[in-house]
Structure 1
Amino acid sequence: MLITEGGVVNPALSLDEGPDVVTIDPSKPKLEHQQSTVWTRRQQAVSVRHAFKHYGSSKSPNHVLQNLNMTVGKGTIYGLLGASGCGKTTLLSCIVGRRRLNTGEIYVLGGKPGTKGSGVPGKRVGYMPQEIALYGEFSIKETMMYFGWIFGMETPEINDRLQFLLNFLDLPSQSRLVKNLSGGQQRRVSFAVALMHDPELLILDEPTVGVDPLLRQSIWNHLVQITKDGNKTVIITTHYIEEARQAHTIGLMRSGRLLAEEAPQVLLTMYNCQSLEEVFLKLSRKQGQENSAQDANLSNNISLATLQWGKKDEPVYVTEESGVVGLNFHQSKEILIQDSSNGHYDKMNGMAHGSKETTETNCDDCNSCCNLTTKGKTRALLQKNFLKMWRNVGVMLFIFALPVMQVILFCLAIGRDPTGLHLAIVNHEMNWTTKECPIVYNKCDFKNLSCRYINSLRNDTIVKEYYENPEDAIDAVRIGEAWGAIYFNENFTDALVARMALGRDSDQETLDSSELRVWLDMSSKMEST
């Protein structure tokens, strides 16, 4: 096979005319080694691609995230801006692994949230939710101890960190209960919990709401300081658009989509605006235009800093698919990257600086988040359960007093012996006219055994009523005047003695005469028993 200059096969040449010859056109650029897309995404602190999330039924879904793409570089502060209800909190909860996307993929610190070894959720991420997710029965110190032990910190380390956070966030006494703090103080405690274990990725959902302006600036200064070395990454959402100028990158979010994702100064220059609010307004209007330009050769959600800067008058478009700002770009092989150290752009013919970083996560105990048998976690859970019960009177009464009351009521209502039960008695051994039933207790002879049995019945339980014949006694049971009836034959004692003497040789008449016949009202089995 012969390939002539320019790399085009010449069909006029025969394969038998000579060996294979390959001629490369020196004027064309050389092929460059490029990393895979997945490898590139794993180098970012957070990478979200084609994210869709909806709530409700499939017939009438409520779309919260719609084909959202997001990239957060390591060692940067990413400000996520948007109105309430645009999907910011849902996006953050998906990043930390608390919710799952319907479709799309998320990489956080090189791995997918929730997978084994990713460390997310876990100690690699510090998350401050929008709501106050704290135990009101805990004091500030107990709250810090609890979360510190959960993340495997030692007690001396927790105490040192606690003193720093108390001073930094201007918190009240560490013995104050969380439920007795104001709303702003509770949010600061929640912020302190996220900072406690010094995580690699810090996700803060509106941490500066209700905070003093001086303290707000102090918080921003601290966030800038911890991201300087490149080991810490911060994602922060806020309603204060102008304060997000201190972030390295901001993402403008509206209706579940990112309208733009770029450095604040770049957006201001690009749209010739004086404030980020004006930029947001322009992008919102552009998103709402149905007939916006869609024919440009755009790449979905490509960061402005990764494209060659064209002419100043080059048009900007918003793609309908993702809603992220893109630019027309030339077919140059050169890539513009931003130098984080001096803020300018360098041209390179290869890959970006730091592209040879390993994809393995730098987490020594990423699997410890799923190990609930560690000493610190066991200690934290025991303390939590004890304090919640000890400081909650209602729970204590429910746990201890309610079972005692149940036992007492059961014994009073059901467990006691019945009293006042009427018993119809027919005893033909006694004198019916006088109703006398003589009993001699000091002699051991078998006489008037029926009378002995009747007198052995407890008077507080049985009310004895005598009847002349069995028919009248049974009728009393049927009409509810008595709970039962018993019948003794006139020779009951003699027959019982003969039965004891004869044993198996007793005839049928002796057996019948020695029996005690009983009829009971079985409408109440407890009473009849």
Structure 2
Amino acid sequence: MKCIEVKDVSKFYHEKRHNKNLKILNGINVTVPTGTIYTLVGPSSCGKTTLLTCILGLQKFQNGEIKIFNRKIEFNKTSKFSHLIGYMPQQKSLPSNLTIFETLQYFGNIHLMNQETFYERFEMISKLFELPRKDKLIKELSGGEQRRISLAITIIHNPKLLILDEPTVGVDFEIRDKIWKFLTTQSKETKLTVLITTHYLNETEKADRCGFMKRGVLVAENSPNKIIQHFCVNKLDDAFIEIYSNDKTCFDDADSNKFETFSEEHEDLGINKDKIMIRHQVLKGLLLKEWHRIKRQKIDFVTIFIMSSAILGLVYILLGSFPNDLKVAVVLSENLQKCTINLNDKLSKFELCNNNTKLLCEFLNQMTDVDKIIYENYTEANIDFKHGTIFGFISLGSNFISSLIENNTKNIEIHIDSSKIFFKDFVNYKIFSTLEIFTKILKERCDINTNSMLPYMQVTDLQEISLNFDLSKFITINMLAMAAFITPMIYSGLIIYECRSEGIWERTYLSGVKVIEIITAYIIQCIFVSLLVTVEIFIFLIYVLNVDVLSHQFLIIFILFELATLGYLSGFLTSIFFKTLVGISGFCMGIIMIQFMASGIMWPLETAMIYIYPISYSSPLTLSRQLFQRYKAKILQSAPKGLSEHLKRVVQLVKSHLSSFHIDTEKDVILYSNDGAALMKKFGFLMNLPLHFSTSKNCNRLTLKRHKRHD
């Protein structure tokens, strides 16, 4: 019985440029009897490698039929023959970061070899091919040594059929001779069948049969001696010239009858009928390979996983902190250049409260975190402001303190560079907070009644940013979701690309590893990587941000683990769809930027157009970020006041500044005259209240939208 039988097989590719089918195999017929060495000879691009991949089920063919051991071959369905076949591809297809022993052990595990048999075969093959020491890394070997390792992998499990694609390329003459002696001995003693492609015609003479291919067609098939005799030449090289130069052929089917002696053996070859879904030894081999890779690339591995903490650390250091040394000018008539001490601690009540100049000094001393520059001339301050020398300036009249005590603040004038929004709001906040602190000093030290003074000063506790608020923590926690997602995505994408570029997947699949086993191995890796990222960020929360997470630790761990898992799977899918490193890197960067923008991390989603919402909520970061946001309010600051408290403050403000108004507290609506519209809008902005403005003929309407409180 024939070991390999190829009948009228045709394969073509569709060439888009010329819109036609390009034939690679054109009705080819090949017969490889059992227990023989069959060499396939032909020029480059004649279809030799394509024929081998079709025989192995790695490529589809359009017409014809292929049989191995008298069983029909189907595309991607050769796992039942895996333990009977050893395949050596034209590429080296070796894991570069594993040692010689680890590489052979990996393939021994996925071929389900027991330990004793593996060590026996390893010692025999090491002596036969004169392999280097077993602890030497694959990437440290020469090209010829790597070819020997590749051949050793092919025969480690003692297969019945070897399919070798140019195995002796780059191998020295002595080792090449040993390889052929091994093949011929095994063919005679153990009925080993070998299908081999080669460019060396002197090797072809050692084969039992040889086939000559030309433009996807077998033009000659016979034993080397018969071919030499047929063309009346002395060497196979001369016969090769006759075949390819003069388009001659040579077939002798009768010669193949002598190879039929092993036909009865095919029924006892033991086709793999293992119905176990996941085999423990195969899974062990897959995981060990990745563990060895991590050990050899520990610097790269640690660098990738430090990235999460590095991103968060940079965000914590660079973003969210209040600006320092902002140059703000103060224009006033009094000479206060020597106002450098905290007068509140040095002066008596009489000295402080009966001297407006010293009170003004105290007011300026309370304005911290800004670099105050005293100007005596309004024009000079305005010129420096326009030239950008100072960020802004405050003009205080000579009777500023008196006006403040009398509840009249018309003598304060503020000029700030509006192009820098965050700095502008910060300076505004510092001025208002300074006024609040100063009014408390007046009340406590000078017994000046401040109950009706500047009502808007009493609502600063409603604002999210307070004197004790750590904006760096606030922003960093907002970035946790992003950091947990990015690291596993980058890691999985690069690792899978590396495996595929080395050609390990193809050899692993042809060794009989099931898809479910590969997926299971990657799921275990995913869990490991996700746990690592989760623990890393969790530790960052506790020891760097000093956040108390004990009351919600399981929720936080779940969110981080879910994000890391989704990130790993995203990298996995990206590396499958994109074949190049540039494609994988570019797509990952695109995903990161889209997630960053569409999930509300950079800017609130409420400002986006409505058709962005489906994209946003399909992002794994959106809901996770929202969960973090609801939790971080408890971490960083107490919950805001209820709606009734907000309403009381609004009423107090309106009473102080508006002459006519009507309040409907049940409907949370305030009706007021048109004169107060600008003030109310400003007040809503300062307090960050959910205000809605609408205008009618007679009055404006201010509505406070209710929001549920999240405890």
Q: Quickly name the TM-score band, shorter chain normalised.
A: 0.5 to 0.7
Give RMSD over aligned pairs: 4.7
Cα distance in structure 1, aligned partners of 2:454 and 2:13: 89
Query: 2:39 is paired with a residue of what secondary structure?
Result: strand
SS at match of 2:136: coil
> In structure 2, what is the equivalent of residue 339 of structure 1?
258
1:127 lines up with 2:87 in the alignment:
yes
Q: How far 1:356 sits from its partner (Å)?
A: 7.5
Q: Within the alignment, does 1:186 sit opposite 2:146 as a pair?
A: yes
- Which residue is equivalent to 1:270? 230
Q: CA offsets per residue over residues 471-501 of structure 1, 9 Å max, x none?
A: 863544558795444577999823269999x
* CA distance in 2 between partners of 1:511 and 1:439 (Å): 30
Say whether the 8 Å CA contact 1:52–1:68 is kept in structure 2: no
Of 175, 193, 204, the residue aligned with 1:233 is 193
**Residue in structure 1 matched with residue 204 of structure 2 by the alignment:** 244
Residue of 88, 103, 106 corresponding to 2:66: 106
Matched to 1:418, the amino acid is P
Aligned CA distance change for structure 1 residues 217 and 354 (closer, same or farther; 3 Å): closer
Query: Do the aligned residues in 1 keep the contact of 2:43 with 2:214 (CA within 8 Å)?
Result: yes
CA deviation profile, 1:252-276 (whole Å, cap 9, x unmatched): 1122221111122222222222222
The higher radius of gyration belongs to 1
User: Would the alpha carbon gap of residues 287 and 492 (structure 1) be closer, same or farther in structure 2, given more than 3 Å must change?
Assistant: farther
Give yes or no for contact 1:52–1:102 (8 Å, CA) kept in 2.
Answer: yes
Taking the TM superposition and a 5 Å limit, the aligned residue runs for 1:123-522 are 123-228=83-188, 231-287=191-247, 304-306=252-254, 338-340=257-259, 362-365=270-273, 373-392=278-297, 395-396=300-301, 398-421=303-326, 459-460=368-369, 466-468=394-396, 473-476=413-416, 478=418, 483=425, 484-485=427-428, 493-495=450-452, 510-512=655-657
Decide whether aligned partners of structure 1 residues 470 and 390 sit closer, same or farther in structure 2, where only a CA change above 3 A counts. Answer: farther
Q: Would the alpha carbon gap of residues 131 and 103 (structure 1) be closer, same or farther in structure 2, given more than 3 Å must change?
A: same
Amino acid at match of 2:452: A
The answer on whether the counterparts of 2:10 and 2:24 sit within 8 Å (CA) in structure 1 is: no
Distance 2:242 2:274 in 1: 43
Please state if 1:44 is matched with 2:3: yes
Corresponding position: 1:79 with 2:32: no
Deviation by residue 1:45-97 (Cα, 9 ceiling, x = unmatched)? 34253222337436266543333222222222111112233222222222223
Q: CA deviation at 1:203?
A: 0.9
Q: Distance in 1 between matches of 2:411 and 2:164?
A: 89
Q: Secondary structure at the match of 1:383?
A: helix
Aligned residues: 414
Query: Does the 8 Å CA contact 1:145/1:155 hold for their aligned counterparts?
Result: no
Q: Which residue matches 2:610?
A: none
Relative to structure 2, which stretch is displaced further, 202-211 or 417-426?
A: 417-426
CA distance in 2, matches of 1:221, 1:214: 11
Moved more, 466-475 or 227-236: 466-475
Distance, in Å, in 2 between the alignment partners of 1:367 and 1:407 is 48
Q: What letter matches 1:362 in structure 2?
A: G
SS where residue 72 of structure 2 aligns? coil
- Which runs of no fewer than 5 residues in structure 1 stay unpaired? 1-39, 289-300, 307-335, 341-351, 442-446
Distance across 1 between alignment mates of 2:212 and 2:286 = 40
Contact kept? 2:161, 2:193, Cα under 8 Å: yes
Aligned-pair CA distance for 1:420: 3.6
**1:148, distance to aligned residue in structure 2 (A):** 0.8
Instruction: Give me the whole-angstrom Cα distance separating, in 2, the residues matched to 1:278 and 1:233.
Output: 27
Q: 1:411 deviation in Å?
A: 2.5
Q: Is the 1:201–1:234 contact (alpha carbons within 8 Å) kept by the matching residues of 2? A: yes
CA drift of 1:434 comes to 9.3
Equivalent residue for 1:54, pick from 5, 9, 13: 13
Displacement, 1:382? 2.3
Change (3 A) 1:285 1:273: same
Moved over 6 A (4+): 352-361, 422-426, 431-441, 453-458, 487-492, 496-500, 503-509, 515-520
Task: Give the C-alpha shift of residue 178 in structure 1.
Answer: 1.9
Kindly provide the amino acid, as one letter, of the partner of residue 304 in structure 2.
I
Structure 1 contact 112–118 (Cα < 8 Å) conserved: no
Please give the alpha-carbon distance, in whole angstroms, between the structure 2 residues aligned to 1:497 and 1:407: 40
Aligned to 1:152, the other structure's residue is in SS state: coil
Residue 406 of structure 2 corresponds to none
CA distance in 1 between partners of 2:333 and 2:166 (Å): 96
Distance 1:147 1:211 in 2: 22
Structure 1 residue identity aligned to 2:368: N
Shift, 1:510, TM fit: 4.3
> CA 1:240–1:302 in 2, change beyond 3 Å: closer, same or farther?
closer
Q: Which whole-Å deviations, capped at 9, do the CAs of 1:273-299 have from their partners, x for residues lacking one?
A: 2222222222213338xxxxxxxxxxx
Change (3 A) 1:144 1:454: farther
Q: What does the per-residue CA deviation read over 1:143-165, in whole Å, with 9 as the maximum and x for residues that have no partner?
A: 11111112221222211110000
Q: Is the 8 A contact 1:498 1:510 kept in 2?
A: no
Match of 1:325 in 2: none
1:124-154 per-residue CA deviation (whole Å, 9 max, x = no partner) reads 3211112221122222111111111122212
TM-score (norm 1): 0.64
Cα distance change, pair 49–362 in 1 and its aligned pair in 2 (3 A): farther
d(CA) in 2 for partners of 1:517, 1:439: 35
